[in-house]
Structure 1
Amino acid sequence: MHPRPSPIAASLYTLRDLNADVIIMHGPHGCCFRTGRLLETDGVRVVTTAMTENDFILGASEKLEQTLKEVNEVFKPKLIGIVGTCASMIIGEDLKEPIEKLNLDSIILPVASHGGFGEGDNTEGAIAVLKSAVEYDVIPQEEANRQIKMLKLATEIEKTRGMAKGNYIKPNFGDNKEKVAKIIVKYLAENKKVCFILNAKKETSYLFADIINFNYEDINPNNKPMILANLDENIGLPRIRNHAINVKNDLKENNVNIDYITGGLDEYPIAPKIAEKFLEANDFDLVVVFGVPHALHIENFSCKSIAITDGPRLVQPLKDLGYDYVIAELDAHSKTLGTEKIVDSDFGMMIRSVINWENE
């Protein structure tokens, strides 16, 4: 019942992950405006054919053709994505026709997604991009199959454990950050076993990794927390692999070492299964899961637990799953687009502040 990301936005982000130089939105100038502007900060040029009422009736193939010409002249791109919108797809615009007509040197991926594409799930837009990327030899079929599997699993998790379960969920900003940060510091100071599990989605890892970006020796040099993370740099599209490399390098510079790799940054739907096996084999007093915490079955464990999410509408579902405390980080995407370094998170800064207070 409440607003959810659309397939169009997912198409845009997936083209970004394929390192598209330019994305053409074939629709009205305001369609997915915020997403387009955010992607500009990530180095992708996003333009529009700016369809109007007359185009809804008579078609806008000439506008798309002209936009393609201008994009080619101005940006000299290697990879262009053309993303459909509700307006252009409802009237049956052919995205391939101008590509074949112009025969430009650029690789051009037509993506006929729209707001209600497929079942309406946002991941349908990402899947449409992957299929087009295979058709135009940008990625191999095997990688597309793996990506599509992850996306479908992500949809299942949202529909069964997240904010897409069907009922309206009131936004909730979670528990008091200072109170929860003090709990983490207290457990470490008292020699209790603590496990941090980073299960982040792509570029949001730059924000969520900040939560473990502190020196445990400042709390208790004899009680190192265990750190698990989905930071395998050998899995995923090139941009996503680079995110994993950058995050690990930043953490190493601050003497924060990952103890166990659970998967890649696009494997957040399945990486928690590896983390769960680790938790089953080791008794922890406190488990802290951040990024996509609802993918982990915390209800199967009896320890104290903390979840950190980027969705205010995920706070209550996470409480319902069994997390004792839930923290909401805001604007994860807008804070991490365009960066190659770990950025400050509200909760990470609070943990470091509590450590400093305790040491004064």
Structure 2
Amino acid sequence: MHPRPSPIAASLYTLRDLNADVIIMHGPHGCCFRTGRLLEGDGVRVLTTAMAENDFIFGASDKLKETLKKAEEMFNPDLVGIVGTCASMIIGEDLKEAIESVKIDAIVLPVESHGGFGEGDNTEGAIAVLESAAQYDVIPQEEADRQIEMLKLATKVEKTRGMAQGDYIKPNFGDNKEKIAKLIIEKIKEGKKIVFVLNAKKETAYLFADILNTDFSKIKSDSGDKVTNPLIIANLDENIGLPRIRNHAHNIKTELERNTIAIDYIIGGLDEYPITPRKAEEFIKNNDIDLVVVSGVPHALRIEDLDVESIAITDGPRLVEPLKNLGYNHVVAELDAHSKTLGTDKIVDSDFGMMLRTVIQWENDK
């Protein structure tokens, strides 16, 4: 009942992850305006055919061909994506005909997605890109099949455990960050066994990894002994996923290692967030854990099956209520994860990560 991400936006992000140089949106100039502008920060040139009222009646294939020619002249791209929109797809514009008519050196992927594509799930747009990429030999069919399976599982997670369950969910900005940070620090001082689980999605991992990028060894325990650092479980396998996604995992791991932050258990890649929690759940069940902190996509972890105090850190105000309904004791909401992480190759400050480090400083200054 409330707005959700569009298949068109998912198509744009997936083309970005394939390292497309140029994306042409075949539709009105305002379609997915914000997403297109944000992707410019990731080095992708996003163009539009700027369809207008007459084009909705008579078609705009000439505009598409002209835009494709200009894209080659201006940017000399290796990989171009042409993404359909509601306007062009409803009137039956033929993206492939334009590609065949305009011979350019780049590989050009036609992506016939629109706002209501398939069941209307945003993942439908990503799947359309992967199918086209496999057809044009940009990625192996086996990788496309694996990615599509992950996307379908992600949709299931959102529809059964996330904000796509059907009912209207009022935005909620979660628990007080200072209070939750103090709770974690107090548990560490008491010598409790804590696990941080990073189960993040794509580039948003740069934000959620900041929570791990905290030197908990600076905390002074109540007994004066050196504190035990929390264990870290993360979906940062740099050998899984599309090129840009693998690079994100590599960058985060390298930066954490440089800051002497050790990852204890890697549970998969950044595009495997619907299934990686199974390994985290097994670890938590088999160890005597006092507190688990899950960041990124915490609703993919079956917290209701675990007898442990829990904190979820999410990027969606509309996910706070579902996470508490699942059984999380505390929920913290980060804002603007996508806009903060587009275009970066380094861990970026998160509100909660900064709060953790601030509370540690306050404790040490007492």
TM-score band by shorter chain is over 0.9
Q: Choose from 216, 224, 227 the match for 2:229.
A: 224
Opposite residue 187 of structure 2, the aligned amino acid is Y
Aligned to 1:272: 277
Match of 1:50 in 2: 50
Aligned to 1:126: 126
Paired residues of 2:189 and 2:227 also in contact (CA < 8 A): no
Q: What residue number does 1:192 align with? A: 192
Counterpart residue number, 2:334 = 329
What is the CA–CA distance in structure 1 between the aligned matches of 2:164 and 2:257, rounded to whole Å? 36
Query: 2:357 is aligned with what amino acid?
Result: R
Equivalent residue letter for 2:135: E
Write the distance in 1 (CA, Å) between the matches of 2:258 and 2:321: 36
Query: Tell me, which stretches of 5 or more residues in structure 2 are unaligned?
Result: none
Instruction: For 1:24, give the aligned amino acid.
Output: I
How far residue 254 of structure 1 moved from its aligned partner, in angstroms, is 1.3
One-letter code aligned to 2:51: M
Task: Name the SS of the counterpart of 2:196 in structure 1.
Answer: strand
Cα separation, 1, equivalents of 2:179 and 2:102: 61
Match of residue 180 from structure 2: 180
Among 336, 341, 346, which residue is 1:341 paired with? 346
Deviations 1:326-347 (A, max 9, x none): 0000000000000000000000
Residue 213 of structure 2 aligns with which residue? 213
For the residues of structure 1 that align with 2:149 and 2:307, how far apart are their CA atoms? 31
Write the letter of the residue equivalent to 2:290: D
Tell me the distance in 2 between the aligned counterparts of 1:19 and 1:204: 17
2: CA distance between counterparts of 1:161 and 1:207? 22
State TM-score, norm by structure 2.
0.98
Q: What per-residue deviation string (whole Å, max 9, x for no partner) do you get for residues 289-329 of structure 1?
A: 00000000001112110000000000000000000000000
In structure 1, give the amino acid aligned to 2:80. I
Amino acid at match of 2:250: I
Pick aligned residue for 1:256 from 239, 261, 280: 261
Could you report, residue by residue, the CA deviation over 1:195-221 in whole angstroms, capped at 9, with x for unpaired residues? 000000010000000011111211153
Larger deviation, residues 222-231 vs 316-325: 222-231
Percent identity between the aligned chains?
A: 75
Which 4+ runs in 1 deviate beyond 2 A? Answer: none
- Alpha-carbon distance in structure 1 between the residues aligned to 2:62 and 2:192: 67
- Residue 222 of structure 1 deviates from its aligned partner by 3.4
What RMSD in Å do the two structures reach over aligned CA positions? Answer: 0.6
Task: Give the C-alpha shift of residue 252 in structure 1.
Answer: 1.1
d(CA) in 1 for partners of 2:105 and 2:22? 14
**8 A contact 2:23–2:82 mirrored in 1:** yes
- Asked if residue 152 in structure 1 is aligned to residue 152 in structure 2, the reply is yes
Distance (Å, rounded) in 2 between the aligned partners of 1:346 and 1:64:
43
Inter-partner Cα distance in structure 1 for 2:201 and 2:149: 15
Which shifted more, 212-221 or 164-173?
212-221
Among 299, 302, 306, the alignment partner of 1:301 is 306
Q: In the aligned structure 1, how far is the partner of 2:193 from the partner of 2:243?
A: 36
Partner of 1:238: 243
Q: In 1, distance between residues paired with 2:336 and 2:227?
A: 35
| 8 Å CA contact retained: 2:95, 2:112 | yes
Q: TM-score, normalised by structure 1?
A: 0.99
Cα distance in 2, alignment partners of residues 75 and 159 from structure 1: 40
Q: Once the two structures are superposed, what CA deviation does each residue of 1:158-184 show, in whole Å capped at 9, x if it has no partner?
A: 000000000000000000000000000
Q: Which amino acid aligns with 1:324?
A: N
CA contact (8 A) 2:188 2:227 kept: no
Question: How far is 1:286 from its partner?
Answer: 0.4
Correspondence for 1:110: 110
Shift of 1:223: 1.0
What is the CA–CA distance in structure 2 between the aligned matches of 1:310 and 1:357, rounded to whole Å? 26
User: How much does 1:103 deviate?
Assistant: 1.7
Q: Which one-letter code corresponds to 2:273 in the other structure?
A: Y
User: Is residue 26 of structure 1 aligned with residue 26 of structure 2?
Assistant: yes
Give the whole-Å Cα distance in 1 for the aligned partners of 2:166 and 2:351: 30
The one-letter amino acid of 2:359's match is V
* 2:131 paired with 1:135: no
Q: What letter matches 1:259 in structure 2?
A: D
8 A Cα contact 2:213 2:261, kept in partner = yes
Instruction: State the distance in 2 between where 1:150 and 1:87 align.
Output: 29
Whether the aligned pair in 1 keeps the contact of 2:236 and 2:269 (CA below 8 Å) is: yes
Structure 2 residue aligned with 1:284, among 279, 285, 289?
289
| Cα distance in 1 between the residues matched to 2:250 and 2:102 | 39
- What is the distance in 2 between the residues matched to 1:354 and 1:212? 15
What amino acid is the match of 2:316? G
Q: 2:318 is aligned with what amino acid?
A: R
Instruction: Please name the residue that 2:317 is paired with.
Output: 312
Give the Cα–Cα distance (whole angstroms) in 1 for the partners of residues 69 and 178 of structure 2. Answer: 54
Give the deviation of 1:116 after TM superposition. Answer: 0.3
| Matched length | 360
Alpha-carbon distance in structure 2 between the residues aligned to 1:90 and 1:301: 47
Letter matched to residue 310 of structure 1: D
Report how far residue 283 of structure 1 moved.
1.4
In the alignment, the residues of structure 2 paired with residue 283 and residue 49 of structure 1 have an alpha-carbon distance, to the nearest angstrom, of 58
User: Structure 1 regions of 5+ residues with no counterpart?
Assistant: none
